[in-house]
Amino acid sequence: MAAKLSGECIECQTPQIKKMVESREKTLHKKNSQEGIRGEQRFTSTKNDPTVAGAAFFALPDPPPILLAVLAPLLALSIYFGQALNPTPAITLLNTMAVSSPTYHELLTNGKPTAVEFWAAWCPDCRESAPTVYRSLYGRDDLNLLSINADEASARALIDYFGVDAIPQINFVDGEGSVSDHVIIGSVRDERELEREVGRLVANRNKFGNDEVDGNWREFLERLEKKT
């Protein structure tokens, strides 16, 4: 009887027990899943946080101010001497000045005096002069630098206009189109010579023109502009 009663009890309670077990398992599974997701989020957040990730390896202390004060001038000196010992090649400077030259229209309209430099890549004196010319004449706000590669076919008209028979040669034209009678021919090492001539041009003191130059500079530029 007891066995029968026990059997009846187990039989009648089995569905309830199953439901309780299944409910318990679902609850545990859900809890474990949520904890797993939160753990993955924490791991991903930590992995993508450079401050936390770096801290896992090492943390660099901030350098003391006195160290920065010592290192800054040393770095500046190293850059200076590096450039002095490894200067920009002369042909690079010449090409830079040539491609940066103003157009004929700009020469006609901006009212600035102009330095016209003639050079060639094969010319030793041209290459020797390049750093001086670059430092003195290139990139100035008060001067046009027309740098002409004498080997190019397009240079022929300017070569004939200024009567160039030796290079390097630098001619100067004031803001009103008068050509200076002062011409620099040969290697240029002294920046002061260029500065003096440019100073006179900028101050509009070169207004006498050059008898050896045939024709007006502005008219000549206008003819060149029409051909381009």
Model confidence pLDDT, tens digit, residues 85-131: 555 799 999 999 999 999 999 999 998 999 999 999 999 999 999 99
Name the β-bridge partners of 170.
117, 184
Q: Which of 41-45, 116-120, 186-190 has the lowest mean pLDDT?
A: 41-45
- Tokens of residue 145, six digits: 């630098």
Q: Which of 70-79, 129-138, 208-217 has the highest mean pLDDT?
A: 129-138
Residue 114: φ, ψ to 5°:
-135, 135
pLDDT for position 57? 47
What is the residue-wise DSSP string for 111-172? ---EEEEEE-TT-HHHHHHHHHHHHHHTT-TT-EEEEEETTSGGGHHHHHHHT--SSSEEEE
Quote the percentage of the chain above a pLDDT of 70.
61
Domain ranges of the chain: 2-55, 90-227
pLDDT for position 23? 63
Torsion sign over Cα 69, 73, 79, 85: negative
Q: How confident is the model at residue 8 (pLDDT cuts 50, 70, 90)?
A: very low
Find out if CATH 3.30.830.10 is the number for domain 90-227. Answer: no
Catalytic site positions: 123, 126
pLDDT for position 5? 36
pTM comes to: 0.59
Torsion sign over Cα 155, 118, 147, 213: negative
Q: Where are the alpha helices (DSSP H) in 86-112?
A: 90-99, 104-109
pLDDT for position 2? 37
Would you say residue 77 has pLDDT above 80?
no
Would you say residue 35 has pLDDT above 80?
no
Averaged pLDDT of the chain: 75
214 against 120, higher pLDDT:
120
Average pLDDT over residues 21-32: 59
Q: Is 170 in contact with 161 (CB distance < 8 Å)?
A: no
CA distances from 218 to 54, 76, 102, 153, 221 (A): 67, 46, 14, 21, 5
pLDDT digits (tens, 9 = 90+) for 141-168: 999 999 999 999 999 999 999 999 999 9
